[in-house]
Amino acid sequence: MSLTQLHEVPSRSVLLLVGSPGVGKSTFCQQALLQNITMDRPIIYVTTEYGSFDAEKALKERGLGDIEPGMLSYLDAFNQTVGVSVPDRSDALHADCNDLSSIDVAISRLSERIGRKNILLVFDSLTSPYIFNGKEILRFMTQTLSRFAARGNAVLACIDEGCGREEDFVSMMSLSNGVIKMETEKDKRLLEVVKHPEVSPKRIELSTLELKPTFRPEISSWDIDTMQSLLKHFGSGEETAIRSEVGDYVNLFWPNFAHWSCMLWDPKRFPTMIYEFNKEEASFGPREIRNNKELQKMFPWRTRLLIKFLVSLQSLGLFMPRDFSKVKDMKKLVSLKAPSYFNYVTYERSGILEYLEDVSETDEHYFRVYENSDCWGFENVGAAMASHIPPAIAGQCKGLEKEDRTWNAVETKCIGLGDPYCEFKVVPGEIDGLTESLQKDVSTIERIHERLMNRLMRFMLEGQPLVERPRLGSDVHLHVVMHAMGFPHMAGQRYRMAQRMGGASAGKKIGEHLLDAGLSEDEAVKRILNLMDHCKVGKVSADGTIRIKNNCERIDIRSVTMKFNEPSCYFTTGFLNGFFSAVKNQHVKETKCIAMGDPYCEWEFR
């Protein structure tokens, strides 16, 4: 049996494609779409994680040429959901993942416009509608997808495995006429036909190559003034280097809220990607500082002299160790007063770091963190939480060693596991338990998000504090925000989608909770703006538009990358769009962004 046979979805059937993010479900759907177009079969292409223009671009890259008008229609259920404004097109309709009925209506309208049977509906994917609507997706599959197929058409839909509860997946598969599971194994991609109207159960093995995003900022594009200001202020005790109006510290609730909202969307890949980026970012700095004279010029002259001195000593094996395998050398590194993340942790208020030399040994080092900003407020939630300090320390070890050697870190104790503080182990090379520690099951993420929502509602309705630590207080530096929300401009489409959709889902839930509590629409808006102001997201104002000066989400663009050619406040835009769609049935679009060089970020209502 060949893939061609699987791509030809039989009429009057719903075929469900199941697999983890990144295994190739979208590719399968696009290949099936192209094959069926060559068979003179009209297509309705539903997209929930990218827009119609992105879908068309991907199809053209796969060989889509000129086709007869009406053969391919798009149902864009992404852009309206996250508040992205796109030009109208005659072959596309828009819908909102929040509202399954809008998708149903749009499918019916497109079907009537095509005016014939044997249409293939390609639905990529059911993940977003499911996360927004929960079990309602089962009714949607019955009343919309199965009904559409029963009228002489066919449906090919995909969904991310692990994005919801197992019992819901069982129900989805039982509602489908066919189920294909996709997975990767080393350098192979595997398709397992679980059931199919015309094919007996079997496994197909395909070769695959997965490209992983990497942290590679171009130093030539950095904003020199901003970087010099940051480096000058770091460790000085001064509050402001970048954001003159609101300061460079943000309530730690906000980055945690953004982080775990995105985790809801991609619980398998998002935490691993955050870990790798945070580790690489921490490694990149010292590596470039040592080797790049242009970067060294950004530091104050005293610091430049110290860097040159330490690099010279390390090359001779004096004072500054060549590697950090031994306890005495790691202790020396931790106590070093030169710029390093070991002495930035407290300044950033991400925690209070302590090296545990008594329990450490060669190539196995232990650190303890008090008041860890990643974990504070999540006591005994049932999972290790830290995503910032452990990979950052591992990255520092790699970046500061003379030879290029990979280091890794894994938490051994955590506030989230019921411990009074966090501890993690750092070793060169591979480390046991890392994958299991990073990945969280959906029930755990939902529990964490529920903790966040409860704390948020107590603040918004009763005025109780969001979070407070005994020694470090409630705020963290912008650098911590960047690590929590990630590096979407480098990580790719899936990463940005998780931020957009995570923000939209979180905003919608807050809006619904406030209305359920009896607040008027205007009062709910007032409370959400007060929340953002309290968290120091930026200087927020609302007068016909929503305007945020110094938005913490994109302030990193000023320092580490060139200007974008499009608005890129992915989480904030999704958040505002989800909130206003729930409270006022309005959508917003970002029209100005500091990442584009604008003086502020601004959203218009539409």
Same domain membership, residue 274 and residue 201 = no
Q: What is the pTM of this model?
A: 0.78
Q: Specify the pLDDT at position 291.
A: 63
Residue 22: both structure tokens together: 């990144």
pLDDT digits (tens, 9 = 90+) for 363-421: 999 999 999 999 999 999 999 999 999 999 999 898 888 788 999 999 999 999 999 99
Q: Is 65 exposed, middle or buried (0-12, 13-18, 19+ CB in 10 A)?
A: exposed
pLDDT digits (tens, 9 = 90+) for 426-485: 999 999 999 889 888 888 888 999 999 999 999 999 999 999 999 999 999 988 888 777
Residue 77, domain member (yes or no): yes
**Interior/surface letters 334-357, b for 16+ CB within 10 angstroms, e for the rest:** bebebbbbbbbbeebbbbbbebee
Same domain membership, residue 430 and residue 352 = yes
Same domain membership, residue 191 and residue 308 = no
Question: Can you give the residue range of the structural domain that contains 324?
Answer: 268-439
Helix axes 521-534, 493-516, angle to 10 degrees: 130
Same domain membership, residue 182 and residue 316 = no
Same domain membership, residue 273 and residue 169 = no
Residue 501 has pLDDT above 60, yes or no: yes
Range among 136-140, 222-226, 233-237, 396-400 with highest mean pLDDT value:
136-140
* Distance (Å, whole) CA 49 – CA 494: 8
Q: Distance of CA 138 to CAs 12, 141, 144, 319, 362, Å?
A: 18, 5, 10, 65, 54
Q: State the Cα angle at 411 between 448 and 478, rounded to 5°.
A: 65
Same domain membership, residue 67 and residue 196 = yes
Residue 316, domain member (yes or no): yes
Output 319 or 337, whichever has higher pLDDT: 337
* Distance (Å, whole) CA 135 – CA 196: 24
Q: Of the given ranges (272-276, 420-424, 492-496, 586-590), which has the lowest mean pLDDT?
A: 492-496
Q: Specify the pLDDT at position 99.
A: 93
Same domain membership, residue 203 and residue 291 = no
β-pair partners for 182: 19, 191
Three-state secondary structure of 149-193 = HHCCCEEEEEEECCCCCHHHHHHHHHCCCEEEEEEEECCEEEEEE
β-pair partners for 408: 427
Phi, psi of 39 (to 5 degrees): -95, 15
Q: Of the given ranges (260-274, 355-369, 576-590), which has the lowest mean pLDDT?
A: 260-274
Phi, psi of 443 (to 5 degrees): -65, -35
- In the structure, what pLDDT confidence band is assigned to residue 488 with cuts at 50, 70 and 90? low
Output 557 or 536, whichever has higher pLDDT: 536
Average of pLDDT values for 522-526? Answer: 96
pLDDT digits (tens, 9 = 90+) for 83-117: 887 888 999 999 999 899 999 999 999 999 999 88
**571 in Cβ contact with 262 (< 8 Å):** yes
CATH code for the domain in which residue 396 is found: 3.30.1380
- In the structure, what pLDDT confidence band is assigned to residue 211 with cuts at 50, 70 and 90? very low
Domain count, the chain: 2
Same domain membership, residue 290 and residue 188 = no
Q: Specify the pLDDT at position 430.
A: 93
Same domain membership, residue 154 and residue 19 = yes
Last residue of a domain, one of 439, 455, 481: 439
Neighbours of 582 (CB within 10 A): 22
Mean pLDDT of the chain: 85
Helix (H, G, I), strand (E, B) or coil at 589: strand
Q: Of the given ranges (131-145, 164-178, 485-499), which has the lowest mean pLDDT?
A: 485-499
- In the structure, what pLDDT confidence band is assigned to residue 165 with cuts at 50, 70 and 90? confident
* Distance (Å, whole) CA 197 – CA 14: 9
* Distance (Å, whole) CA 508 – CA 579: 5
How do beta strands 422-428 and 407-413 pair? antiparallel
Q: Which of 444, 436, 456, 565 is nearest to 507 (CA)?
A: 456
Output 264 or 470, whichever has higher pLDDT: 470
Residue 570, domain member (yes or no): no
Same domain membership, residue 102 and residue 33 = yes
**204 in Cβ contact with 1 (< 8 Å):** yes
Same domain membership, residue 302 and residue 180 = no
Give one word for 516, left, alpha or beta, with left for phi > 0 and alpha for psi -120 to 50: alpha
**550 in Cβ contact with 537 (< 8 Å):** no
- In the structure, what pLDDT confidence band is assigned to residue 216 with cuts at 50, 70 and 90? low
Residue 313 has pLDDT above 70, yes or no: no
Last residue of a domain, one of 391, 424, 439: 439
The H or E element that residue 16 is part of is strand 13-19
Same domain membership, residue 276 and residue 187 = no
Last residue of a domain, one of 374, 409, 439: 439
Q: How far is the first Cα of the chain from the last one, in angstroms, to the nearest whole number?
A: 50
**413 in Cβ contact with 359 (< 8 Å):** no
Residue at 567: amino acid letter: P
Helix axes 478-485, 253-265, angle to 10 degrees: 10
Q: Which of 477, 471, 474, 472 is nearest to 247 (CA)?
A: 477
Enter the DSSP assignment of 243: -
Residue 66 has pLDDT above 90, yes or no: no
β-pair partners for 72: 43
Q: Of the given ranges (16-20, 106-110, 185-189), which has the lowest mean pLDDT?
A: 185-189
Residue 406, domain member (yes or no): yes
Q: Specify the pLDDT at position 52.
A: 93
Residue 259, domain member (yes or no): no
Enter the DSSP assignment of 471: T
Residue 363, domain member (yes or no): yes
Q: Specify the pLDDT at position 243.
A: 82
**384 in Cβ contact with 437 (< 8 Å):** yes
pLDDT digits (tens, 9 = 90+) for 277-299: 888 888 876 666 666 666 666 66
Percent of the chain with pLDDT over 90: 51
Q: Specify the pLDDT at position 431.
A: 94
Q: Which of 344, 346, 388, 342 is nearest to 473 (CA)?
A: 346
pLDDT digits (tens, 9 = 90+) for 243-260: 878 888 999 999 999 999
Output 223 or 554, whichever has higher pLDDT: 554
β-pair partners for 16: 157, 179
Helix (H, G, I), strand (E, B) or coil at 77: coil
CATH code for the domain in which residue 121 is found: 3.40.50.300
**222 in Cβ contact with 297 (< 8 Å):** no
Residue 196, domain member (yes or no): yes
Q: State the Cα angle at 312 between 311 and 316, rounded to 5°.
A: 115
**373 in Cβ contact with 350 (< 8 Å):** yes
Residue 290, domain member (yes or no): yes
Written as one string, the DSSP assignment of 29-61 is: HHHHHHHHHHTT--EEEEESSS-HHHHHHHHHH
Output 518 or 84, whichever has higher pLDDT: 518
Q: Specify the pLDDT at position 209.
A: 40
- In the structure, what pLDDT confidence band is assigned to residue 564 with cuts at 50, 70 and 90? low
